[in-house]
Amino acid sequence: MTLITEEVLRHRCEVRAVLAMRTEDRGKAMDYLIKVKEARREKLEKDCRDQWERGNRGKWGDWRGL
């Protein structure tokens, strides 16, 4: 059993929120990513791309892979 930290849960929630924005309006999602601090943005963008490629569209609780 893997322990998931609060930070991991927050990050996954944010990724899903960006994916959900993208399903409605790609520009809105891109605007959000631009506003995220540089240090977090790289990981957030990477995980958003990865989850999108795996079929995740931002539904609550959906996380594909580890």
Question: Does a structural domain hold residue 43?
Answer: yes
Question: Does a structural domain hold residue 62?
Answer: no
CB contact at 8 A, 21 and 28? yes
Q: What is the largest CA-CA distance in the chain?
A: 38
Count up the domains in the chain and report the number. 1
Domain that holds residue 35: 11-53
pLDDT at 59 (0 to 100): 96
Question: Does a structural domain hold residue 6?
Answer: no
Question: Does a structural domain hold residue 63?
Answer: no
Q: Which of 38, 64, 40 is nearest to 51 (CA)?
A: 64
Question: Does a structural domain hold residue 38?
Answer: yes
Distance in angstroms between the alpha carbons of the first and the last residue of the chain? 12
Question: Does a structural domain hold residue 64?
Answer: no
Structure tokens at 27: 């520009």
pLDDT tens digit string along 12-53? 999 999 999 999 999 999 999 888 877 688 889 999 999 999
**Residue 64 DSSP class:** -
